[in-house]
Structure 1
Amino acid sequence: MTGSGKMDGGVMEVSPFRLKPWFSPRPWGRKSLKPWYEDTGTTELVGEAWLTGPQCVVEEGELAGKTLAELGPQMGGEFPLLVKLLFPNEKLSVQVHPDDAQAQAAGETRGKTECWYVLDAEPGAFVMLGLKPGVDAKMLAASVADNTMESLIEKVPVSVGDMLFVDAGTVHAIGPGVVLLETQQTSDVTYRLYDYGRPRELHLEQGLKVIKPKTQAGKVAPKEMAGFIRLIEQKYFVVDRFELGRAVEQSLTLEGPACLVGLRGKAWVVTPGSEVELEPGKAVVIPEGTGQVIVDAEQGATFVRCVAPATSASI
């Protein structure tokens, strides 16, 4: 029994379920996403695999064929975390996201704070994160015409295992040669400041209004916890990494909405009456109120737990 819906006192309870990734074409993406995905279903360049996007479809069980957005009312509202895999083959645009107050003032539901966990990185791989000291909005605007914006932003070398916090208001971009697991607020509000000459719309006026000269963005040191590694803990999300080397069964208590993302090996998410396979490159959503789940895995399985809000993640 997988991804089932049950009635309890007139309220629909939703068991954990696995979503099919939704592939987003981007001009900076890749033709092939192997070894993560054998087929994207398109010949276009794909830059993002959305694992918990509102349009992602349940793969198995009684809820099969329903989108995550359609299940929102049964789960108490919109799923608060948008988790993606990013596959840049070229530099992404330089961009900035508003915080909640700025987004709502512009008529949006919420802002966009995010983080990046580096799953793969070629030698010399980098991201750009935050303005260099002394750079202001006027300098940033002038840099569009002479193609010098990149020189005004801090370049941060990255390697496998790095976690980077991207605070709202931070000017940022991603370089090629990496695979990133991105966890963010469920929002797609992006103001593109510079795009290396690609024929896409810029949002310079909106972006300059929400830029913050200093933010909390940057690399985050991992913390050893009891049975897992805490990669980041912020207001909107907590992200933890589990390596099931010797222990092949892990009990997790999840008090808030969460998802598990498979990175390597086979695992199964088990609750009373429900068992869902956790596959690499896919997410299993754990609706709020599920409580405790068991992850039964083959030796060597690795997965990430993404939970909202920050106070919800405990083992």
Structure 2
Amino acid sequence: MTVIAKPLVFGGHAIARRLGKAGIPDWSVAETWECSDVTGSGTVVTNGPLAGRPLRRVVADHPEALMGDGWVGEYFPVLTKFIDAAGSLPVHLHADDEAAQRLEGQPNGKTEAWHILHAAPGATALCGVKEGVTSDRLRAALEAQDFDAVLRRLPVRAGETVYVPGGTLHSFGPDTLVYEIEQTSDIQQHAMRWQMEDGSRVSDAEFGSHLDMLMRQVDLETRPDFTPGLAVAVGDGVERVFLCAGPYFALERWHAGTEEPVRHSFATAQILSNVGGPVRVRSGEWREELGPAETLLLPAACGHVEITGPADVLFGYLPDLDRDVRGPLLEAGYPPRVIDSLGPRAGPLEGE
């Protein structure tokens, strides 16, 4: 897939220099969109028989081969990014589905999750409103830019993940490198007096308008926490870690420390991102080397992939929660209440 590099003001050079990603501009890069079907920022297939086709076209022409039997949709439902928060991200939120449809005229909101690849000692994130904070108090603090008075500040550690529902006020950085998975959307409402594109000042009138919309979308009750994920041994020196899971996406990290390969079977499209050294990837007769911080989109029709170890890779996908998440974790001995820590409805279904 092609990569879209975003030069936002909080970015740096860690995606290239720490992760080893090649082929991106030498200037400060805040985000690389690895797999995207966002209108106006869609990625394009770069190899194979569909090379040169935008992801949106692949979805239209081959929906079941890409996403699995019975799937229908107008666009690819999952967006993934590397984010270099060399500086702090703006305090902002993304609408949930209901608010996106009611207030933004969009088909869906943007729930997301952050998997921390690197964080400097003492790194923190703002995530969710403190318990007991009223809407009026929140608005006053945002107007004063006094974020710590009303928002939860959480410690950030490499290897942990947090599932962030739409409507949650948040920020992270500085000195934090993240892999983000989310619903396909670019809607957001900021609480800052500067533009994240170039740092220019936001006028008082525009700032007030932003806050008006933000306050109509904010969720005062959601307070997500970081989790280490749930590990399952799947071979000699091969570990599968479920990092997060919910109705919109799931994310796993697989480590292979020996020559035994990662062997993964699947029934829906897999976004495969390499967060380690170069690896060799094989599916059927097809083979390719995947470099550091490169991403492949494996269609459901492939069904199986083998990655030669040692390897450190991420798989992101739209899950069938029972089949893809709950089943393997229950079989591994995890109780439903623990599985539920991965995200909404990843564990017990209603009535269980």
| Superposition TM-score tier, normalisation by shorter sequence | 0.7 to 0.9
Q: Secondary structure at the match of 2:128?
A: strand
In structure 2, the residue matched to 1:182 is 180
Superposition deviation, residue 310 in structure 1: 4.5
Amino acid in structure 2 at the alignment position of 1:211 = V
Distance in 2 between the 1:101 and 1:194 partners? 24
2:162 and 2:224 in contact (8 A); partners too: yes
**Alignment match, 2:127:** 129
1:258 aligns with 2:270: yes
Q: Does 1:56 align with 2:38?
A: no
SS of residue paired to 2:281: strand
Match of 1:304 among 301, 314, 324: 314
Match of 2:2 among 20, 31, 41: 20
1:168 aligns with 2:166: yes
Once the two structures are superposed, residues 230-269 of structure 1 have per-residue CA deviations (whole angstroms, 9 ceiling, x without a partner) of 1112121111111111253232121222211111123333
SS in 2 for 1:155: strand
What residue in structure 2 maps to residue 35 of structure 1?
18
Query: Residues 296, 175 of structure 1: CA spacing in aligned structure 2 closer, same or farther, 3 A cutoff?
Result: closer
Residues 92 and 191 of structure 2 are in contact (CA less than 8 Å); yes or no, is this contact kept in structure 1?
yes
SS at match of 2:30: strand
**Contact persistence 1:249–1:294 (CA under 8 A):** no
1:101 match? 98
Tell me which of the two structures has the higher relative contact order, counting C-alpha pairs closer than 8 angstroms and 6 or more residues apart.
Answer: 1
Query: Is the 1:20–1:282 contact (alpha carbons within 8 Å) kept by the matching residues of 2?
Result: no
Per residue, is there more strand in 1 or in 2?
1
Task: Output one character per residue of 1:186-223: Cα deviation in whole Å (capped at 9) or x when no partner.
Answer: 11111112256842565211211111111252212311
The separation in 2 between residues aligned to 1:147 and 1:105, in whole angstroms, is 28
Q: What is the number of residues matched between the two proteins?
A: 294
Unaligned segments of structure 2, at least 5 residues? 64-72, 235-239, 329-352
Q: CA deviation at 1:87?
A: 0.3
- Are 1:210 and 2:217 matched, yes or no? yes
What amino acid is the match of 1:179? Answer: L
CA RMSD of aligned residues (A): 2.2
Give, as a single letter, the amino acid of the residue that structure 2 aligns with 1:304: L
Task: State the SS of the aligned residue for 2:226.
Answer: strand
The normalised TM-score by structure 1 is 0.85
Tell me the alpha carbon deviations over residues 272-308 of structure 1, each in whole angstroms, 9 at most, x when there is no partner.
33223333212111223432x12231x3211011121
Residue identity opposite 1:206 in structure 2: M
Uncovered stretches (5+) of structure 1, i.e. residues with no partner: 1-18
- TM-score (norm. length: structure 2): 0.77
Q: Separation in 1 of the partners of 2:320 and 2:192?
A: 33
One-letter identity of the residue aligned with 1:133: E
AA paired with 2:231?
Answer: E
User: Does the 8 A contact of 1:128 with 1:175 survive in 2?
Assistant: no
1:88 is aligned to 2:85: yes
Residue type of the alignment partner of 2:84: F
Distance 1:257 1:304 in 2: 13
Contact 2:13 2:84 in 1 (8 A): no
Q: CA deviation at 1:31?
A: 4.8
- Counterpart residue identity of residue 62, structure 2: M
* 8 Å Cα contact 1:261/1:305 also seen in 2: yes
- Between the aligned partners of 1:117 and 1:61, the Cα distance in structure 2 is 29
User: Hey, what's the Cα distance between the residues in 1 that align with 2:87 and 2:278?
Assistant: 31
> What secondary structure is seen at the aligned counterpart in 2 of 1:102?
helix
User: Secondary structure, in 3 states, of the residue corresponding to 1:261?
Assistant: strand
